[in-house]
Structure 1
Amino acid sequence: MYTEYRPNILLAPYVETYWVSDENLKSQQTIRIFPDGCVDILFNCTEDDNSDIKPFIPYIIGTMTIFSDVKYDKKVKIIGIRFRPCAIAAYTKVPICEFTNAKVDTRLFQSLFSDFLSEQLFEIENETAQIRYIENYLLSKLGCLYDIDKQIINIVNHIQRTKGLTPISNLLDNICLCQRQFERQFKNLTGVTPKMFSSITRYVTTKEFIKSNPDKSLFLIALECGYYDHAHLIRDFKRFGGMLPLH
């Protein structure tokens, strides 16, 4: 359904990937987007006004805690930038929790892409050149990024390394913040609480585990992925993905 492009090495700490949707759909389709702890910016690179993503407007898609169904009309090409958790906070002073579960027009506030000439994308026919045009804009901002609390970045990396299984109380052992300050700062930078981010990370990890182990029972999958039991796993999959595991 989409093609991914790796970012310039200078942007790798901030951008996880660029992605481009398939513009050769035979009919209108609805794509289900699942929570992954990331923030995306989307561009509609066609003049089709029937899409949920309107042309000429860069949209921030905030950190999601529930799935979202996005309508794509046929022959609509969407270019997306998927930022790593916390990373988009380097480009804006607006708390990232303001975007959680929301689609926001970047022109409504002083932030990343609010001064971007997105209309130029329509004049560039080559997909790779469109990505390069977006990337050059991101590269031009590297000299004026905001500082991100390295303690929070380290905690985010630790949660991802441990697949969301570290108790929140343990996360506090290595930072110089009280619990209330930590949770507020974490939410401002990622869009969600540490507990929610851990749950999303476990969900994403479990989805990948299921793909790699299609013959394992839900009971064993639940145990290996850190759930209390398979009923707990099923509840998370319904909450985040709107469907049962192995669906």
Structure 2
Amino acid sequence: MFNLAQLYHPITANPSKTNEYLPCKALQPYIRCFWGSGLESQNTEVSNMHKSREIIIPDTCMDIIWEMDKSTGCASTFFSGINDTPFEIPYEAENESSHFGIRFHFWAVHYFADDHLRDVLNAHADVEQYFSTFHRDLGLLLAETSSITERITAAEAYLLRRLEGTHRTSDSMMNAVHAIINSKGLVGSDELQVSSGLSSRQLERLFREYIGVTPKQTADLVRFQNVWQELYQPSPQSKSMLDIVYAYRYSHQSHFNNNFKKYAGRTPLEALRYARKR
């Protein structure tokens, strides 16, 4: 599989305040990162940064999230599907619970999941609805770990086993995904049909089956992520706000602001203030 992750690197609402760890090379085309909290060995400044509520924006990824209550030793796991709306989660003190997450690129979840992904939009489901062996093959091991390194090692072994012999994909669909990524979401239906060799109806069926959203929804989310990266990670070649409006084909500034707020839950300037606060 071509490593689309080399072309696309989605970020969160507060990228500098996350505990993210890259997977091994074999998993990089599929896994955006591992992440965790609640372990003594982690960076205290990063782990304790959110003292009230944390905003989650659509990053086009999907997550398996394992959580253990430190007081009881009880663990629970759920699968978070692709999101197209922002939401907030409450801050949990590091001494109360421990978390470990596997963050999948949106195009890769179907390589590991047991079933179709038609119902994953904005979904939070029990992990075994999509990964039926998770508790047996990984969850029990995570409960015995004491470091993020041990958790990542166990998770990589589990994911590599699930990947073996997997062929449930469509090259035509992946060609359309590549076109969306390569164009930064600025691709129309006709172009996707040419790149994939499929009709719009066929593409929509495959995207809903393997990703959970339509090609247009996918392109809109990828465009938002690219815009957010342009704003958050300025460089000498960075565009001005007005340049971004036109480069990403918004009709005017208000259209840009409204579309950005739809996904980020706040205006571009408010989002930047949130991301840069200490």
Letter in 2 for 1:132: T
Which residue of structure 1 aligns with residue 28 of structure 2? Answer: 12
1:55-114 Cα offsets, whole Å, 9 max, x none, are 522211101010121223101332211111221101224222311101111134564625
1:114/1:96 Cα in 2 relative to 1: closer, same or farther (>3 Å)?
Answer: farther
Verify: 1:121 aligned to 2:142, yes or no.
yes
1:45/1:152 Cα in 2 relative to 1: closer, same or farther (>3 Å)?
Answer: same
Contact residue 68 and residue 76 of structure 2 kept, 8 A: no
Which residue of structure 2 aligns with residue 241 of structure 1? Answer: 264
Contact residue 113 and residue 130 of structure 2 kept, 8 A: no
Consecutive unaligned residues of structure 2, counting only runs of 5 or more, are 1-16, 40-46, 271-278
Which residue of structure 1 aligns with residue 75 of structure 2? Answer: 56
Consecutive unaligned residues of structure 1, counting only runs of 5 or more, are none
1:245/1:112 Cα in 2 relative to 1: closer, same or farther (>3 Å)?
Answer: farther
1:28-78 Cα offsets, whole Å, 9 max, x none, are 5322111122211111144368xxxx9522211101010121223101332
1:199, 1:148 → 2: CA distance?
22
TM-score after normalising by structure 2 = 0.78
Helix, strand or coil at the partner of 1:235: helix
TM-score after normalising by structure 1 = 0.87
1:217/1:205 Cα in 2 relative to 1: closer, same or farther (>3 Å)?
Answer: same
Letter in 2 for 1:74: A
Percent identity of the aligned residues?
27
Helix, strand or coil at the partner of 2:221: helix
Verify: 1:38 aligned to 2:54, yes or no.
no
Which residue of structure 1 aligns with residue 112 of structure 2? Answer: 91
Verify: 1:65 aligned to 2:84, yes or no.
yes
Helix, strand or coil at the partner of 2:198: coil
1:169-189 Cα offsets, whole Å, 9 max, x none, are 211013232211111111221
1:66, 1:110 → 2: CA distance?
24
1:151-192 Cα offsets, whole Å, 9 max, x none, are 111211221111101112211013232211111111221111
Letter in 1 for 2:146: E
1:201-241 Cα offsets, whole Å, 9 max, x none, are 11111111112349965333211232222112111111111
Contact residue 42 and residue 78 of structure 1 kept, 8 A: yes
1:194, 1:35 → 2: CA distance?
16
Q: Which of 20-29 and 164-173 deviates more?
A: 20-29
RMSD: 2.5
